[in-house]
């Protein structure tokens, strides 16, 4: 499965009997090393481990710069499709080349174990894509050399005068450390990809890891073993494009459903970058340059081959967020109506344990800017959604929301239209998840913010919401209208009987109208009882 390409100083090596399953189950790696002069193993050494994936353009420069500060550079090429391994070898690195892509976590663990085998005193890991500055190696390894730490985390936020950004505070919260953990033990940059390990720390890396939770599990495990963890400030060079699907360290994701939004995305993507780890654009069959511009600006683009609707875009977003196992997901519109600088405001309540945050247009001056016909439609849809049990007064149609992981996992969207926003809230209510609103500003002076006629669009959303309510709560959805129709039918029948006694002439029209109402009402009430029984039966857990 693996082959190692060596620089001239290290002849051929072979790593065998190693699989990803073994590594994640903490099985030891078996290594056979041939024709290596024992004198080449530097006992008092610093090893640099670079996990790489399609980094051909920068890997050579990174290796050459790194070699100035360490005794050995180990590059783990995780199944790259370009010449990453070859370039790294030419630059003088020891290269471990995997035949198939397995993910950054596996690559890092493999490199750390290789460093342990070489008996290095300090192992430092960082990304091979140029995100971090190799000149910081001396700074990050200094505390390990001095015996003051077993794990040193290079922080891009330590020592800065301003308050810690919301996204970093969320990452700290998601470490799930004990409540009594001293504040100085909580890293400011827990997902940093730049870390240094002492030889003692390398002996503790043999335990099961989730590939989406490497840093978090590592920090918690080391604390449980009384290993010393410190942070040092490093240069912030985090301008590179995140590698979606390989680097699973992202915990906060911004997602934008987009349809022909090339102009607005070019303006808002650069702003969003400072608030999240990854930006995901779901291009719902656009015919313009939406996908190209988004990719050029560093967003990850998921493209639908044809326009499928807002609900379908949300389906893709939630499925992707579940795949990445993110801690927080913020969704906003791609047309520029939402202010991306308010992402921090929408994320903030998640720190207090709120499951879902809705950016509301009804808590500030934005409500006065909403066109009258839109406001009426919003209130109708809010009222209908509230009939399904959702808290009254919520801006149910707001597209600016933030979700914690628990809420992300609870959402299963079925519809493809704009009613998906209400469908999500109904599901959240069914799972007893907490919802909070924060005021946001929305622009309505933007041209072509919707591709649908406002009236027909509102009616279609209303129809879909009523359908959702009817499916989920058939007893009130059909029973109440049936009971009302039954009362109307009794009224007409009573009128007919009264007329017959007063005039001795039977009124057939009134009697027929009453009969129709009575029969319709009875049918709806019977249907309500049957459907309610079916819903209860289907929702009951199956027992074997």
pLDDT of residue 162: 67
Q: Are residues 110 and 259 in the same domain?
A: no
Whether residue 140 has pLDDT greater than 90: yes
- The pLDDT, as a whole number, for residue 17 is 39
298 and 219 co-located in one domain = no
Q: Look at 61-75, 86-100, 420-434 and tell me which has the smallest mean pLDDT.
A: 420-434
d(CA 208, CA 87): 32
pLDDT tens digit sequence for 352-406: 999 999 998 877 665 555 666 566 666 666 666 665 566 776 787 788 999 999 9
The reply to whether 238 falls in a domain is: no
Number of domains forming the structure of the chain: 3
Three-state helix/strand/coil letters over 56-124: HHHHHHHHHHHCCCCCEEEEEEECCCCCHHHHHHHCCCEEEEECCCCCHHHHHHHHHHHHHHCCCCEEE
> Do 508 and 368 reside in the same domain of the chain?
no
Same domain? 154 vs 31 = yes
For residue 537, what are its two tokens?
Answer: 């039966």
Q: Does residue 65 sit within a domain?
A: yes
Q: What integer pLDDT is reported at residue 423 of this predicted model?
A: 75
Q: Which residue has the higher pLDDT, 182 or 228?
A: 228
For residue 87, tell me if it sits in a domain. Answer: yes
Residues 452 and 520 in one domain: no
Residue 16 burial (C-beta neighbours within 10 Å; 0-12, 13-18, 19+) = exposed
Q: Do 483 and 439 have their domain in common? A: no
Q: Would strands 278-284 and 252-258 be described as parallel, antiparallel, or unpaired?
A: parallel
- What kind and span of H or E run contains 126? strand 122-127
Final residue of a structural domain among 472, 501, 516: 472
518 plus 381 within the same structural domain? no
Percent of the chain's residues with pLDDT above 90: 42
Residues 284 and 314 in one domain: yes
Domain span at 135: 2-233
- CATH number of the domain encompassing residue 149: 3.90.550.10
- pLDDT, tens digit, 9 for 90 and up, residues 301-319: 999 999 988 888 999 999 9
Last residue of a domain, one of 450, 472, 494: 472
280 and 421 co-located in one domain: yes
Q: Is 243 a member of any domain?
A: no
Q: Convert the pLDDT of each residue in 433-458 to its tens digit.
A: 999 999 998 887 766 555 555 556 55
Cα–Cα distance measured from residue 330 to residue 301, given in angstroms and rounded to the nearest whole number: 16
Cα 104 from chain centroid?
A: 18
Q: Are strands 2-5 and 94-98 parallel, antiparallel or unpaired?
A: antiparallel
Is residue 9 situated within a structural domain? yes
Q: What is the pLDDT at residue 247?
A: 82
Q: pLDDT tens digits, residue range 47-85?
A: 999 999 999 999 999 999 999 999 999 999 999 999 999
User: Does residue 247 lie in a domain region?
Assistant: no
Q: Is residue 239 part of a domain?
A: no
Q: Clarify whether residues 261 and 203 are in a common domain.
A: no
Distance CA 35, CA 55 (A): 30
Q: Are residues 34 and 66 in the same domain?
A: yes
Tell whether 197 is covered by a domain.
Answer: yes
d(CA 47, CA 74): 7
- 256 and 210 co-located in one domain: no
Q: Which of 472, 499, 519 is the last residue of a domain?
A: 472
| Residue spans of beta strands (DSSP E) within 164-239 | 195-198, 229-233
Q: What is the pLDDT of residue 376?
A: 64
> With 50 as the cut, is the pLDDT of residue 33 above it?
no
Six-digit token string for 330? 């913020």
């Amino acid at each position: 499965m693996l082959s190692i390409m060596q620089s001239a100083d290290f002849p051929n090596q072979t790593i065998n009997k190693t699989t990803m399953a073994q590594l994640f189950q903490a099985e030891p790696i078996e290594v056979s090393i041939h024709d290596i002069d024992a004198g080449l193993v530097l006992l008092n050494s610093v090893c640099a481990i670079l996990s790489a994936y399609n980094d051909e353009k920068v890997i050579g420069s990174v290796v050459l710069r790194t070699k100035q500060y360490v005794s050995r550079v180990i590059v783990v090429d995780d199944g790259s499709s370009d010449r990453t391994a070859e370039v790294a070898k030419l630059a003088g690195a020891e290269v471990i080349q995997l035949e198939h892509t397995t993910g950054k976590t596996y690559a890092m663990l493999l490199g750390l174990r290789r460093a342990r085998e070489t008996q290095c005193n300090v192992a430092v890991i960082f990304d091979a894509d140029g995100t971090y500055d190799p000149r910081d190696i001396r700074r990050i390894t200094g505390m390990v050399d001095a015996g003051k730490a077993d794990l040193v985390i290079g922080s891009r936020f330590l020592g800065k005068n301003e308050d810690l950004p919301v996204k970093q505070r969320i990452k700290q919260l998601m470490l799930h450390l004990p409540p009594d953990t001293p504040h100085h033990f909580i890293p400011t940059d827990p997902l940093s990809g730049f870390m240094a390990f002492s030889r003692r720390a390398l002996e503790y890396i043999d335990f099961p890891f989730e590939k989406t939770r490497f840093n978090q599990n590592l920090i918690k495990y080391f604390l449980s073993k009384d290993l010393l963890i410190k942070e040092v400030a490093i240069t912030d060079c985090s301008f590179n494009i995140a590698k979606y699907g390989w680097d699973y360290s992202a915990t906060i994701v911004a997602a934008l459903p987009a349809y022909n939004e090339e102009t607005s995305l070019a303006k808002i993507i650069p702003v969003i970058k400072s608030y999240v780890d990854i930006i995901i654009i779901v291009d719902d069959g656009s015919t313009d340059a939406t996908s190209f511009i988004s990719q050029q600006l560093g967003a990850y683009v998921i493209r639908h081959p044809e326009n499928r609707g807002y609900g379908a875009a949300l389906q893709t977003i939630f499925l992707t967020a579940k795949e990445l196992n993110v801690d927080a997901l913020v969704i906003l519109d791609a047309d520029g109506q939402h202010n991306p600088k308010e992402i921090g405001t929408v994320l903030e309540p998640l720190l207090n344990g709120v499951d879902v945050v809705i950016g509301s247009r009804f808590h500030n001056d934005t409500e006065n800017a909403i066109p009258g016909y839109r406001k009426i439609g919003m209130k109708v849809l809010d009222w209908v959604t509230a009939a399904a049990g959702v808290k009254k007064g919520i801006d149910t149609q707001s597209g600016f929301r933030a979700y914690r992981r628990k809420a992300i996992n609870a959402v299963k969207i079925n519809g493809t239209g704009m009613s998906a926003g209400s469908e999500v809230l109904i599901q959240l209510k069914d799972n007893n998840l907490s919802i909070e609103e924060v005021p946001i500003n929305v622009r309505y002076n933007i041209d072509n913010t919707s591709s649908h006629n406002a009236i027909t669009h509102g009616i279609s959303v209303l129809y879909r919401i009523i359908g959702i309510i009817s499916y989920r709560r058939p007893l009130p959805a059909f029973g109440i209208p049936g009971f009302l129709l039954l009362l109307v039918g009794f009224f007409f029948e009573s009128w007919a009987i009264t007329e017959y006694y007063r005039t001795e002439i039977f009124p057939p029209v009134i009697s027929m109208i009453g009969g129709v109402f009575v029969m319709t009402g009875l049918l709806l009430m019977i249907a309500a009882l049957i459907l309610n029984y079916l819903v209860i039966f289907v929702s009951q857990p199956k027992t074997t």
